[in-house]
Structure 1
Amino acid sequence: MTKKVRTRFAPSPTGYMHIGNLRTALFEYLIAKHENGDFLLRIEDTDQGRKVEGAVDIIYKTLKDVGLNWDEGPDIGGDYGPYVQSERLGMYKGYAEELVKTGHAHYCFCSEEDIEAQRKEAESLGISFKFQDPCKHLSKEEIQARLDAGEPYVVRQTIANVGETSFDDEVYGHIEFDGDLLDEQILLKSDGFPTYNFANIIDDHTMNISHVVRGNEYLSSTPKYNLIYDAYGWDRPTYVHVPPVMKDEHQKLSKRNGDASFQDLVAKGYLPAAIINYIALLGWAPPTEQEIYSLPELIEVFDVKRISKSPAIFDIDKLTWMNGIYLRNMDEDTYFETVRPYLERAIKGPYDLKEIAKIIQPRIDVLTQIEESVDFFDKPGDYDLEMYRHKKMKSTPESALTALKAVRTALENLEDWTEESVHETLLALPKEMGVKNGVVLWPVRTALSGKQFTPGGAIEIAWILGKDESLRRIDTAIARLEAALA
């Protein structure tokens, strides 16, 4: 009988969700769901010193915002709880002592000073440091006496005469290590808390986790984990080590370096669906040229064998492009509700925000571009004479003045102010004047907006502004041009 696929996302509550962490959660989710398996959420808070207030809520919200809904977790329970490590403390000590009894771990009474003295000696000799624990050679009587005396201790893994050891990884293939070079990691700290590595092993086994997904920096530690699995007689999980997400060719993306977290990207106007689509492609190659995927589509096509061994570089320009695709693919009502808060902040005047939303939809890539692009509806920007000069449109300040006077007369005589009537009127003028459309429309757009770049053209802007406001702005522009050219 095939074992059910069960994966877990096990973040530490230390702050915002960074992109590499979210990608790990996504890969774990896709591996499970592609096989109709279970996706668990577990909070790893054994390092109480790094715990940040409110971070657990951020984890919940982030996963929900991108649609990575978990089947078991601290908030919804499940058959393998509790799902918070600090609530599981009672079990780890027993597991550690079991390893001591079987000779796969030992009590270590060494102080930090003892360890540091060995480290300095190794440095002075120019050799790599590997702690040689003298406590391994204590007799049972000596150990018991020191325990009875209340001496502080840690439980440290015992590694001896291992020889060549190997394991298989879904991404990196068959990997071999010299087991005798492995350092003996601490399993249980002096405060009774398990280390991150030890708690992971116990929790993964007791929660029936089938696939462990983590960064490739853990490849070198995996043989140590395997020795523990083997010591208990447990099946090893399937390993999926993923390459890092890089800022550039040399630097990893990192919260410590101030690189954008998921929350930062959302605040900068990126959609959660676009972010999750983009990070799916960081280190994973889809089977076709398709790049835009819904989460159900990703579940359908995801294949762990297509994860790359090479680091993936985070490209904000590619994410921006993808975000623009998502915005343009929204239906009209969804788009309006998405952009409404930005429009309401930027525009206080009596304009139809739904119509403004329509003209910006084909032209906006990131939500935070909206306010700056539409603020001219309330007040046109400050422009100078040179803005009327446009080589491609064949517009000059002199031709602009002529055009604006003709436009003013035509629009003033327009009785029925609709988008169609404004469109017909403004496009009829270039033909009458014997000039190209840009000679007329560029000056009108400049006069109405005071900007070189606008989300809509002259016709759309004039119609939304209305007759009175359009004429007022054109009058102001004519006066400025006449004064400047006098």
Structure 2
Amino acid sequence: MFRSQGGKFILRIEDTDLERSTRESEEAVLRDLTWLGLEWDEGPNKDGGVGPYRQSERTSLYLKYAEQLVESGHAYKCFCTDEELEAMREEAKAKNLPPKYSGKWAKANKDEVEAELAKGKPYTYRFRVADEGSVKINDLIRGEVVWALDTLGDFIILRSNGQPVYNFCVAVDDATMQISHVIRAEEHLPNTLRQALIYQALGFPMPKFGHVSLILAPDRSKLSKRHGATSVGQFKEMGFLSQGMVNYLALLGWNDGTEDEIFALDQLIEKFSIERVTKSAAIFDNTKLRWINGQHLRSLPEKALTQMCGEFWEKASLLTVHEGPFVEDAVRVLKGGLEVVSDAGKGLSDLLSYPLEESLCSPEVKEIVDDNLREVADAILTAYDSGDLQNAIKSGHDEWQKWVKSAGKSMKRKGKRLFMPIRLLITGKRAGPDIGSAVELLYKAETSGVVHAQAGLVTIAERMKRLKEVEWDSVSEKLASTVKAPESATVLAH
């Protein structure tokens, strides 16, 4: 949004939670944003005049404004102990009321405060909230939002250890960093109420707020680790592209008013409008994410895609090299089945393997088997014994097509009755890339010398040996036993 409005992207590290905030977590954020292509104009490593950019380095600024609020009467020092606060919570709970600070120190005079300070008692800074009235904002997405103040109670802005609370930090930071728009999840609406009060008390101009809906899991629960990857780094490791991730995330709760779904980052910047962000929750659909990523992956320049796949194959111990003629040929053949880079691993593994026996026992091939599959097997084995099959495979696409056409003519088969049995018997699978391209690549895998010993390559010779050993009567019996006979039913007429 900031790019579409001609604004700046300021990266602020909100690290006041000392237990959870580490330099490693900060580096992960910087690394993930860089990978996504989201370049910031100002931040920890790019000073633009409104730093420091880590909240942990802005403590003196927060203390200054906290004291200003005390002087103006909008805040006060609270000396309540943990036991006293717990008693207040229990009392509210007993009355079926929301927890609310009693205001014990809100009306303390100067002498009472000085006496506690002299004793060295710890204290927090509390923001004073009116007992009546309301706060209103015009949300860019949800329209007018109004909160009543009578249930809020005075809230802490500085803890007893001097650490500022999130709501106070971000209000001061947004104002002093001249943030014009605050766009965040709807679960921050309660925070917006507190921040709006702080803006008003300090005389800061109110930014424009927009609260987007949460991204939910397919079961409409909140996304969590049980639903899969939860960090940008994990998606990167799974083989997703940055442009695919940005494209998909932009479409969660937004569209440009057309049927278009594939956008580059510069197109998203040009087309984005906050007015087209929806109020309804977006559902995270991993299938759709993979589809969008696949569109971007397959449209990469051939050299870039080949490099990605080659490096993956070498790292996965499928190939002993990451570049060269075989890698280039393999990418061209397997490209159509790629949605994430890691799909290249499965694609090549499938090509090298030969699960014939398993496939022949699958109910999904019963129709193919019942259509005299043995006839096609005999034709393939005869062609192999004569050398015609090998010549057709290694001579390229045209010779392969000639052999298939000739085999079909001799068996009076064509179309699916010809192609599907040949695919099943030579590759061991019902589906895959173009069969002619697949068997040619299989031949190159045998002869290139770059397939890793652990890759599970089943040679054409080994395939034909196993095909000869198939007991067709046994195959038919096994398939018949997997098909459950329909139960008989009796209809009674009255």
Q: Same fold (TM over 0.5)?
A: yes
Give 1:206-217 correspondences, 5 Å limit: 206-217=176-187
Match of residue 424, structure 2, among 433, 437, 446: 446
Aligned match of 1:400 = 376
Please state how far the C-alpha of 1:307 moved relative to its aligned partner.
1.2
Aligned match of 1:6 = none
Residues 136-160 of structure 1, C-alpha deviations (whole Å, 9 max, x = no match):
1211011122123321000010012
Give 1:366-381 correspondences, 5 Å limit: 366-381=340-355
Asked whether the equivalents of residues 365 and 430 of structure 2 are also in contact (C-alpha less than 8 Å), the reply is no
Please state how far the C-alpha of 1:251 moved relative to its aligned partner.
1.3
Amino acid at match of 2:338: I
Asked whether the equivalents of residues 424 and 430 of structure 2 are also in contact (C-alpha less than 8 Å), the reply is yes
Match of residue 463, structure 1, among 440, 443, 448: 440
Give the match's secondary structure for 2:2: helix
Give 1:10-89 correspondences, 5 Å limit: 31-52=1-22, 54-89=24-59
Q: Does 1:144 align with 2:133?
A: no
Please state how far the C-alpha of 1:295 moved relative to its aligned partner.
0.7
Asked whether the equivalents of residues 394 and 439 of structure 1 are also in contact (C-alpha less than 8 Å), the reply is no
Match of residue 232, structure 1, among 202, 218, 223: 202
Matched residues in 1 for 2:64 and 2:226: separation? 36
Q: CA RMSD in A?
A: 2.7
Please state how far the C-alpha of 1:252 moved relative to its aligned partner.
1.3
Matched residues in 1 for 2:37 and 2:401: separation? 43
Matched residues in 2 for 1:366 and 1:414: separation? 33
Aligned match of 2:455 = none
Asked whether the equivalents of residues 75 and 128 of structure 2 are also in contact (C-alpha less than 8 Å), the reply is yes
Q: Does 1:348 align with 2:337?
A: no
Q: Does 1:480 align with 2:456?
A: no
Matched residues in 2 for 1:121 and 1:485: separation? 77
Where structure 2 has 5 or more consecutive residues not aligned to the other structure, the ranges are 448-458, 476-494
Q: Say if 1:334 and 1:395 are closer, same or farther in 2 by CA, change over 3 A.
A: farther
Matched residues in 2 for 1:158 and 1:463: separation? 78
Amino acid at match of 1:102: S
Amino acid at match of 1:391: E
Aligned match of 1:418 = 396
Give the match's secondary structure for 1:106: strand
Asked whether the equivalents of residues 389 and 395 of structure 1 are also in contact (C-alpha less than 8 Å), the reply is no
Q: Say if 1:447 and 1:464 are closer, same or farther in 2 by CA, change over 3 A.
A: same
Please state how far the C-alpha of 1:447 moved relative to its aligned partner.
4.0
Match of residue 296, structure 1, among 266, 277, 287: 266
Please state how far the C-alpha of 1:83 moved relative to its aligned partner.
0.5
Corresponding residue pairs, total = 455
Please state how far the C-alpha of 1:265 moved relative to its aligned partner.
2.3
Matched residues in 1 for 2:470 and 2:226: separation? 53
Aligned match of 1:11 = none
Q: Say if 1:77 and 1:255 are closer, same or farther in 2 by CA, change over 3 A.
A: farther
Amino acid at match of 2:217: K
Matched residues in 1 for 2:436 and 2:125: separation? 76
Please state how far the C-alpha of 1:482 moved relative to its aligned partner.
6.3
Q: Say if 1:396 and 1:389 are closer, same or farther in 2 by CA, change over 3 A.
A: farther
Residues 385-443 of structure 1, C-alpha deviations (whole Å, 9 max, x = no match):
44695526975441232221243232245597223322333333212432124455444
Amino acid at match of 1:121: E
Amino acid at match of 1:446: L
Asked whether the equivalents of residues 218 and 284 of structure 2 are also in contact (C-alpha less than 8 Å), the reply is yes
Please state how far the C-alpha of 1:472 moved relative to its aligned partner.
1.2
Q: Does 1:201 align with 2:161?
A: no
Please state how far the C-alpha of 1:381 moved relative to its aligned partner.
3.4
Q: Does 1:306 align with 2:271?
A: no
Asked whether the equivalents of residues 346 and 374 of structure 1 are also in contact (C-alpha less than 8 Å), the reply is no
Give the match's secondary structure for 2:48: coil
Normalised TM-score (structure 2): 0.85
Matched residues in 2 for 1:45 and 1:367: separation? 34
Please state how far the C-alpha of 1:33 moved relative to its aligned partner.
0.3
Matched residues in 1 for 2:20 and 2:168: separation? 18
Q: Say if 1:402 and 1:248 are closer, same or farther in 2 by CA, change over 3 A.
A: closer
Pick 1 or 2: higher relative contact order, CA cutoff 8 A, min separation 6: 1
Q: Say if 1:307 and 1:249 are closer, same or farther in 2 by CA, change over 3 A.
A: farther
Q: Say if 1:183 and 1:215 are closer, same or farther in 2 by CA, change over 3 A.
A: farther
Aligned match of 1:130 = 100
Aligned match of 2:454 = none
Normalised TM-score (structure 1): 0.86
Amino acid at match of 2:469: R
Please state how far the C-alpha of 1:134 moved relative to its aligned partner.
0.5
Please state how far the C-alpha of 1:367 moved relative to its aligned partner.
2.6
Asked whether the equivalents of residues 397 and 481 of structure 1 are also in contact (C-alpha less than 8 Å), the reply is no
Where structure 1 has 5 or more consecutive residues not aligned to the other structure, the ranges are 1-30
Amino acid at match of 1:460: S
Percent sequence identity is 31
Aligned match of 2:285 = 315
Matched residues in 1 for 2:228 and 2:408: separation? 53
Matched residues in 2 for 1:74 and 1:85: separation? 11
